[in-house]
Amino acid sequence: MNRLTTTKRNHLPGLLRGVLILAFLGIFFSNTLAEQNKIELNDSAYYEMPGVNVLMFTNWYNENFSDSKMSGIEIIHHGKRTVTNGDVRLNRTPEQWDPIPKFNRKEVDRANNIVKAWLEYPDFGYMIQTEPSGDDVIISVHLDKPLPEHLEGKAGFNLEFLPSAYFDKTYMMDGKPGIIPHYPSGPTRKNEKGETEPEALAKGHKMVFAPEDDYRRVAIESENELMFFDGRNKAQNGWLVLRSLIPSGKTGRVIEWKMDVSGVENWMRDPVISFSQVGYHPDQQKKAVIELDKNADYLPEASLYKIDENGQKTSVYSDEVTQWGFYQRYKYGVFDFSEITEPGIYSVRYGEWESRPLRIGDNVYDNIWHPTLDVFMPVQMDHVLVNEAYRVWHGASHLDDALQAPVNHEHFDLYAQGPTTDTQYQPGEHIPGLNVGGWYDAGDYDIRTQSQYYTVLHLVGAWEDFQIDRDETLVEQENRYVDLHHPDGRNDILQQIEHGAIGLLAQHRAVGHAIPGIIVSDLSQYTHLGDGLTMTDNLIFNPALDSLEVDYPYSGTFDDRWAFTSKSTPLNYGSAAALAASSRALKTYDPEFAQECLETAIGVWNLEQSKEPDIFYVGNTTGGPMILEELRAATQLLIATGNDKYAQRIEEMWPDVSKGFAFLASTLLPALDYMDDAFVAKVKTRAESYVEELKGLQKQNPFDVPITEGGWAGNGTIIGFGITNYMLHKAFPDVMDKEYVFKALNYIFGCHPDSDISFVSGVGLHTKKVAYGMNRADFSYIPGGIVPGLLILDPDFPENKEDWPFLWGENEYVITVGGSYIYLANAVQDLLKK
């Protein structure tokens, strides 16, 4: 605030002059505070005042996975998204797959600060309106026609509050105090359908969340009855829900809430000093990116302090902070301390803020991929028991795989079956031989073939390019037994390649082609948390038996997974590529198995080249683009066989490969040693233009990597970016700067927006400890798992929650990123070898 000054002498008596000055200052300050506390639409079309953003349908429910907890009316409260899904819902505490409305349109009236959104369910439509009133927001629901009778008592306006944001907080309903529960403990009831649903923790007309905390307090008043529910009674990923029912027989403004979101005066978000939580090798570029509130002023410089063994901190370097500018809602500065090469422990100081300790040393990258190979990948292994010392991660599950999926069926999680089975099996019939190998795809329990072969390809690449030799895990395929931290005299990465290849080859043995995958038949199984063994009796379903009858190895319990088997040429090519690659890695490990992998891959190639392609695209389970998958197969078969026909096909594909070079380069580049000089020259020329294109990243964000902005965060893309750049550097060191490889890994390890956390659980100083694995209900993690990372919510909010694991787009481990991360981690170590 500017200081008031006077330029003329005032001759009023001193006391009177003082009174008038105080009165003037009071008016000035009250008017200024009133302006500060007035909530208004900003240029990004959401409501804003210091410390408070209220978003109105800037994001939408995920069309593939329904309720992703980022839609409707949302609140970003002092830098944290704490409230979401302000919308009309048909359940007290909706679960992920419960009905969601169809979004029709939205209107923003900037002149009057009013936003309206029109939505509909099959039986009725409605409009939601928000408008400011001083520092409050008035939320109202409008109906043109009365609510249908069958929805009376069911349809209501919900607003969901993040439980972890209100742990250790209280609430008040009509002045009566309560404590936000850490863990749901009721009450619940049976409804008229016999279904369990939560009862209200409190009812009234004024609800205040966290009255004691200026940073989290939200007060809501309404003439409509307010009901407070705990959604975690129904599902561990549920939120706290405030709800008002839509009254029957009414039209017009049927619900109105006055919402007061507390804002701390002059609040600004503290700077985030982000850097690699693993540290830096002396020879690499070292930069800390400083993230600032948009209203903060840049400070001219930052300093690096060295920390000795007694805890003494000595300034060893200072330099200017380069003002990068705005990215999303924050502005950024960059502090370059690359000239510091002496090994040790350091910290960055920026004004009154100091970073976490950071390392510089020759050994900072030692062991960074070990938790992924030693723990994460074994824990994801399907069809085996996985033990770790005193702990069993899971039993040998799904030994009853799998039943043929029904035809003309669209399933959840992007699976579908076409008009025929494309196999010799009838819908519901057991397909023998699928109960071997493979990894759980993600934090759930499906075997997604596309994930399997992508992972195998990166593991083989890491084995071939870096000669990985590590033995920390016992794997007994014949006994379906895995024991962590128990060497067995066999190379772990080859054991993982074998496990993936076993699952892929089993599909070809069973039905003659690659299949989209294997997944549970029912949502009640899909939402299962914990040991995968407890979702199945491991006995093959026989419909002739009673539901609890057992006639070993059959039972009447319908808990078997379904195999989705529609033919897809791209999927078949991708599987063949991984089998060809596996044949090279396993040729001395298991020669007979390796030979079968190679012969199967050659057979797939010959078949697919001799006929029209089978095109069956559904979501992300039926293979990638044809150009990618065919190139994969041609490249891996060329390396495995040396046959010129594969090189000829790669040459024919070059015009299309060149167009998608950034996407396809890492698939192509392993083949260069088998191509002629003229082709290599063409690739080098294209690589030079690609490097020129990379310079545009420096204008997009201060981290120099491609940050995606979809519903699934982009760590996989960034790791792939690093791998592409490594391969280009190895092929053309005069063209590609190796720093583009380091930048990708630095981002994964903490040099990214929003926070400084390492996205690899258990790797780095400050690392992901709450993630979406099979143990997510315990607010825990799997060492070595890599989360998707930073999600950009429209219009400008970067987010990765560390206190809430259930947002899959930010926190769900997937096996594919595990394999690619092992490759990139070894690539960085390779570049830094003396």
Q: At what angle do helices 626-641 and 569-585 cross, to 10 degrees?
A: 30
SS3 sequence, 187-235?
CEEECCCCCEEECCCEEEEEEEECCCCCCCCEEEEEEEEEEEEEHHHCC
Mean pLDDT to the nearest integer, 443-460: 97
Helices (H), 102-187: none
**Tokens 């001759």 belong to residue:** 11
- pLDDT of 101 strictly over 90: yes
Instruction: For the domain covering 643-834, report its CATH number.
Output: 1.50.10.10
Q: How far apart are CA 50 and CA 367, in angstroms?
A: 44
pLDDT at site 752? 98
Per-residue tokens: 475: 């794997």
Which pLDDT band, with edges at 50, 70 and 90, does 488 fall under? very high
Per-residue tokens: 577: 């590529």
SS3 sequence, 596-653?
HHHHHHHHHHHHHHCCCCCCCCCCCCCCCCHHHHHHHHHHHHHHHHCCHHHHHHHHHH
Per-residue tokens: 106: 């939205």
pLDDT at site 62? 75
* Per-residue pLDDT tens digits for 697-736: 888 999 999 999 988 999 999 999 999 999 999 999 999 9
- What's the distance, Cα to Cα, between the start and end of the chain in Å? 55
* Per-residue pLDDT tens digits for 630-656: 999 999 999 999 999 999 999 999 999
Contact 471, 491 (CB under 8 A): yes
pLDDT at site 361? 97
Measured at the CA of 502, the angle between CA 498 and CA 506, to 5 degrees, comes to 165
The answer as to CATH 2.70.98 being correct for domain 40-261 is yes
Mean pLDDT to the nearest integer, 398-422: 97
Q: How far apart are CA 66 and CA 541, in angstroms?
A: 30
* Per-residue pLDDT tens digits for 108-153: 999 999 999 999 999 999 999 999 998 999 999 999 999 999 999 9
Contact 345, 307 (CB under 8 A): yes
* Per-residue pLDDT tens digits for 583-593: 999 999 999 99
- pLDDT of 53 strictly over 90: yes
pLDDT at site 186? 78
Domain ranges of the chain: 40-261, 273-360, 643-834
Q: State which H helix or E strand residue 304 sits in.
A: strand 301-307
* Per-residue pLDDT tens digits for 1-49: 232 222 223 333 343 344 333 344 444 444 444 445 689 999 999 999 9
Which pLDDT band, with edges at 50, 70 and 90, does 544 fall under? very high
Burial class, 656, CB count within 10 angstroms (exposed 0-12 / middle 13-18 / buried 19+): middle
Three-state DSSP class for 413? coil
pLDDT at site 36? 53
Q: What percent of the chain has pLDDT over 70?
A: 95
Q: How far apart are CA 449 and CA 447, in angstroms?
A: 6
| Nearest of 730, 712, 504 to residue 600 by alpha carbon | 504
Phi and psi at residue 627, to the nearest 5°: -60, -40
| Nearest of 211, 202, 212, 204 to residue 240 by alpha carbon | 202
pLDDT at site 65? 78
- pLDDT of 193 strictly over 90: no
**Tokens 């009023």 belong to residue:** 12
pLDDT at site 623? 97
Instruction: For the domain covering 273-360, report its CATH number.
Output: 2.60.40.10
- pLDDT of 831 strictly over 60: yes
Q: State which H helix or E strand residue 754 sits in.
A: none
- pLDDT of 165 strictly over 80: yes
pLDDT at site 834? 62
Burial string for 671-693 (b: 16+ CB within 10 Å, else e) reads bbebbeeebeeebeebbeebbee
Helices (H), 248-387: 370-371, 377-379
**Tokens 């391969």 belong to residue:** 727
Mean pLDDT to the nearest integer, 773-794: 96
Measured at the CA of 608, the angle between CA 602 and CA 614, to 5 degrees, comes to 145
Which pLDDT band, with edges at 50, 70 and 90, does 66 fall under? confident
| Nearest of 143, 189, 135, 166 to residue 241 by alpha carbon | 166
Q: How far apart are CA 56 and CA 77, in angstroms?
A: 14
